[in-house]
Structure 1
Amino acid sequence: MKAFKAPKTSLGNLDAEAAAVLITAAADVALIIDEHGVIRDIAFNSEELALEMEGDGSWLGRRWIDTVAEDSRPKVEAMLQALADREQPRWRHINQGAGRGGSVPILFSTVRVGKGGRSVAFGRDLRPLSALQQRLVEAQQSIDRDYARLRHAETRYRMLFQLWTEPVLILDAATLAVLEANRVADQLLGRGGRRGAVRSFLDLFAPAIRGRIELMLNGLRATGRAEDVDATLAEDGREVLISATPFRQENASLVLVRLTYPQGEAGAVVLPRAKSKMLRLIESVPDAFVVTDQDGRIVTANAAFVEMAQLAAEEQAVGQPLERWIGQPGVEMEVLTANLRQRGPVRLFATTLHGEYGATIEVEISAVSVMNGTGPCFGFAIRDIGTRVAPPARAMGRVPRSVEQLTELIGQVPLKDLVREATDVIERLCIEAALELTGDNRASAAEMLGLSRQSLYVKLRRYGLGDLPAENGEMG
């Protein structure tokens, strides 16, 4: 603070009334405080503030610290202490008590006057500044809301732009450079979704047709309208229809271009080269490959399936239920699809495939469920295992009865004898398999079968396995 150089000369003989006028004019509210921090007098320069505080003659005779809000009391205490220590005065934000239990934000600074220990607290009403700050906060919140709406709108636009199944591009109207392209158009540009070097839109098409396209776009810039143009893609020779619409953005002239495939290729998607090669391989593999919808009806099938099912063309299979050719109707496919829905991929499911003209093939099926835009679809890889070379049969001392032999006994022997015979067949096969897996280690085989070694030896003698001497009175 810089004081007057010669206050006695410049101010003259200033009496108390003149000093009171000066103090009142210098602040919105002024408090006269004694050496004990008690308010002795109050003056208001703002009528609005006086009404808000209801004149607050109730402050007279009370300690200043008792007339402020709880959170402002430490500040008032610090200001009074600074007066006592004759420190440089500081401005502090005080929430001064007002009528009806409220408070008013006031910026106070205290100054010691005279030799009687009296001080003056000068206060500036902060409500206009608070209102301005509140309007600033509200304006910022409004800007944030508008920005969020714009961001969400842009996100929706980006999503629709990228999910569109036909190539869509945005061009610079003057240079015809590609500024933006959706995922399908990126494949045509050879960028694979990367925002690489900008290419000219005309480079997408066969050289013979570029003049017509350029003429159409020049007419679009001049008149704002243009007829659609048929064109041929340079990449794969496919026919497309070019539609263009001009628009402006940030003082720049742009063109929105859509490439539409012929009616027979509606919804066609341009795939990356690697994906296209994989699809061609699936079409050519010797194993059958079939895609069905969630109801099990065929959407597409490769040539191997068409051959296995004894069909003339894929179109004969499309739309038909796959269970028409797989296993018993309503059995195998029900099991397969239930497992796909509940447990995920199915591997090496053994069944049969029936051709249109009665041929039957033993097959193994591996299947997977994949989500698409409308629900799950199922993929089935079907392998012919009828031509596999069977492994050499194990040498066995005694061949058990087959299922056919047991079937022939129905009606000739009681059911309990048939069940006992079938049980013996299964038991013998299990023991032989356990011995083979353990390298004829009988202790390990007994543990694998859940038998004691003594029980295993009894069963080995019973079935004549393991070259053990027979005992009389053995028990099964």
Structure 2
Amino acid sequence: MAATREPLKDSLGALDAVDSSKLIAAIADVALVMDSKGLIRDVAFGNDVSSEDAIEGWRGRSWIDTVTVESRPKIAEMLRDAAAKNPPRWRHVNHYSSTSGEDLPIRYFAMQVGKNGRVIAVGRDLRAQVKPQQKLMDAQVALERETWRLRAAETRYRLLFEISSEAVLIVDAASLKVVEANPAAVRLAGRSVRRIVGRLFSDLFVSGDAPAIHSLLTAVSVAGQGENVQARLTDGSAECMISASLFRQENSSHFLIRLAPLRAEIREPDLSSTKSALLRMVEKLPDGFVVTDADWRILCSNPAFIDMADLATEEHARALSLDQFVEPDGAAFSVLTSHLREHGSVRNFATTLRSLHGAAESVEITAVAAPDGDQPCFGFTIRRGGRPQAINPAERPTPRSVEQLTELVGRVPLKDLVRESTDIVERLAIKAALELTRDNRASAADMLGVSRQSLYVKMRRHGLGELDG
């Protein structure tokens, strides 16, 4: 009959305090002896723990004060379970270190021993496990950062590819089929994107130029460079200069093809020589020139305005509205356009032009409306220059009509405009009262509800009638 196995507590016998402490120190990296309130009375640690100075400083402190903020609820829960003599559970906590600056991760379980409420916390150092995890996390962060960097670079190059005024195509080196074409190449070829992408590159040109194109691509594939060739487009009927370069992408080779139309083939607009010269002069104007539609969207602009607005190309300007640049934070553009729609022209309107990147400068705008034609449009000439200073009230002539008052909009503050409006109404009222009373000053003063002396003062200020001394 087999012998009955004795429980472990009976096999170990009665261990004294010295043997118990040696056993705990042998099986644990860190061992803490605390009272029932969690005050650390004694500390033991193994040779693998390298933070001896910090651990020695725990003696005499509360256990919960040695850990980081997020670990304190776990310490409180372990102390409650130990006081209730619940089965201990392993919990991961982090001790802050004032010397190394790095947290010390320890995995603890706590239990109550003896009859005086002492609590023993046995811990295992987790730094050997945390460091590889931290390295993996750092590698993931670095990988994500590199991915975002490459994505940003791809976005920049894609934007350059799309807005470039030069016709550019990407051709697969193995099949010689067009992979991508930018908008400039689509316009030059006179075809849609679907009729270009996926077709042989040589199909875009007349058949007689195919051998020269193949020779260029072969030379670039072998030697990395080749002499530029001329070829005529089939649909566009324009002769182009073709240059090519080779690059690799995703384990495959591609040609970067650039098409430059020959100057002799650029067709001028069907205009008279005088109008052509006028357009050339507008292009070279030092002042900005913009043409908009009825909704103030930019239809065309000259290089001077492109420079003022900090835009890249004229094509970029066509997608924007003029009110994005003319004092966008104020009401000046509304005043300008209202006057332009009502009177058909505005001259020397002082305002502020704000570029696409926020730079502001004072400008004067002269505008004209062209309501005739299939598409009504408006032309704006924008001249750099200082905003006119507010007119000194002592030097400003009193406006005699609403039209004269309107001309002061944008040149004087609003409170001055209100005062000028009051003066106009007062002058018209006095003039009407004098006409109704046939220049009887006493009757006119009674009609206006003012004293005769006050009427004389107002008449003298407005220059009405002849007043004796």
TM-score by length of 1: 0.53
- Partner SS for 1:79: helix
Partner of 2:208: 208
Number of aligned residue pairs: 322
Name the SS of the counterpart of 2:33 in structure 1.
strand
Which digits, 9 at most, give the CA deviation of each residue in 1:358-413, with x for residues without a partner?
xxxxxxx9743489xxx9xxxxxxxxxxxxxxxxxxxxxxxxxxxxxxxxxxxxxx
C-alpha displacement of 1:191: 6.3
Q: Output aligned runs, 1:415-430, within 5 Å.
A: none
Rg larger in structure: 1
Task: Give the aligned partner of residue 435 of structure 1.
Answer: none
Give percent identity, aligned residues only. Answer: 36
Correspondence for 1:28: 29
Native 8 Å contact 1:27 1:45 kept in 2: yes
Encode CA deviations 1:314-363: one digit per residue, 9 max, x unaligned: xxxxxxxxxxxxxxxxxxxxx779999935451169xxxxxxxxxxxxxx
- Alignment correspondent of 1:246: 246
Q: Which runs of 5+ in 1 are unaligned?
A: 271-275, 299-334, 350-364, 376-425, 428-445, 460-474
- State the partner residue of 2:47: 46
Distance 1:262 1:36, change over 3 A: closer
- Amino acid corresponding to residue 93 of structure 2 in structure 1: I
1:368 paired residue number: 380
User: What is the rounded CA distance, in whole Å, between the counterparts of 2:237 and 2:251 in structure 1?
Assistant: 36
Q: 1:132 to 1:285 in 2, by over 3 A?
A: same
1:93–1:107 contact (8 Å) kept in structure 2: yes
Code of the residue aligned with 2:79 in structure 1: it is: L
Match of residue 347, structure 1, among 368, 377, 380: 368
Indicate how the Cα distance of structure 1 residues 78 and 196 shifts in structure 2: closer, same or farther if over 3 A, else same. farther
Say which SS state the counterpart of residue 247 (structure 1) adopts: strand
In structure 1, C-alpha distance between the alignment counterparts of 2:185 and 2:249, rounded to whole Å: 21
Letter in 2 for 1:342: V
Q: Deviations over 1:139-171 (max 9, x none)?
A: 444434434443443344334333433211111
- Kindly report which structure 2 residues correspond to 1:190-269, keeping only aligned pairs within 5 A, or say none: 198-262=198-262
Alpha carbons 1:109, 1:122 under 8 Å: kept: yes
Give the structure 2 partner of residue 80 of structure 1. Answer: 79
> 2:205 & 2:79 partners in 1: Cα distance?
85
> How many Å apart are 1:121 and its aligned residue?
0.9
Q: In 2, distance between residues paired with 1:194 and 1:370?
A: 41
Equivalent runs, 1:121-200 vs 2, <5 Å: 121-129=121-129, 131-132=131-132, 134-189=134-189, 198-200=198-200
Q: Which residue is 2:284 aligned to?
A: 293
Residues 167, 184 of structure 1: 8 Å contact kept: yes
Q: C-alpha distance in 2, partners of 1:47/1:39?
A: 21
Letter in 2 for 1:53: A
Shift of 1:255: 0.7
Change (3 A) 1:198 1:63: same
Amino acid at match of 2:77: A
Q: Is the CA contact (8 Å cut-off) linking 1:52 and 1:99 kept in structure 2?
A: no
Which digits, 9 at most, give the CA deviation of each residue in 1:112-162, with x for residues without a partner?
A: 456664442122234445544554454444434434443443344334333
* Secondary structure of the corresponding residue to residue 235 of structure 2: coil
Question: Which AA in structure 1 matches 2:81?
Answer: A
8 A contact 1:113–1:120 mirrored in 2: yes
The structure-2 alpha-carbon separation of the partners of 1:453 and 1:33, relative to structure 1 and needing over 3 Å to count, comes to closer
Separation in 2, partners of 1:250, 1:44: 55
Q: 1:239 to 1:105 in 2, by over 3 A?
A: same
Structure 2: any 5+ residue segments left out of the alignment? 290-346, 354-361, 371-376, 385-399, 402-424, 440-464
> Is contact 1:82-1:88 (8 Å) kept?
yes
Question: What's 1:360 paired with?
Answer: none
Q: Does the C-alpha gap of structure 1 residues 191 and 87 become closer, same or farther in structure 2, counting only changes over 3 Å?
A: farther
Letter in 2 for 1:293: K
In structure 2, do the counterparts of structure 1 residues 148 and 99 end up closer, same or farther at CA, with 3 Å as the change threshold?
closer
Report the counterpart of residue 410 of structure 1 in structure 2.
none
Q: Which AA in structure 1 matches 2:380?
A: V
- Counterpart code for 1:25: A
Matched residues in 2 for 1:338 and 1:64: separation? 73
Tell me the CA shift for residue 91 of structure 1.
Answer: 3.4
Q: What CA deviation, in whole Å up to 9, does each residue of 1:254-299 have, x standing for no partner? A: 111111233557xx6x9xxxxx9xx65899999x86624233799x
Q: Aligned to 1:59, what secondary structure does the other structure show?
A: coil
What CA RMSD, in Å, does the superposition of the two structures yield over aligned residues?
Answer: 5.0
Q: For 1:158-196, what per-residue CA distance to the aligned partner results, in whole angstroms no more than 9, with x for missing partners?
A: 343334332111111122222222221122355667999
Partner amino acid, structure 2, of 1:295: P
Equivalent pair of 1:188/1:235 in contact (CA under 8 Å): no
Q: Tell me, in whole angstroms, the C-alpha distance in 2 between the residues paired with 1:263 and 1:181.
A: 22
In structure 1, distance between residues paired with 2:141 and 2:106:
26
Match of 2:435 in 1: 455
Q: 1:195, 1:208 → 2: CA distance?
A: 20
Q: What amino acid sits opposite 2:8 in the alignment?
A: K
Between 1:125-134 and 1:209-218, the stretch displaced more is 125-134
TM-score (norm 2): 0.53
- Contact 1:345/1:366 (<8 A) preserved: no
Q: Distance in 1 between matches of 2:23 and 2:272?
A: 97
Helix, strand or coil for the counterpart of 1:76?
helix
Cα separation, partners in 2 of 1:91 and 1:158, compared to 1, 3 Å: same
Q: CA deviation at 1:230?
A: 1.2
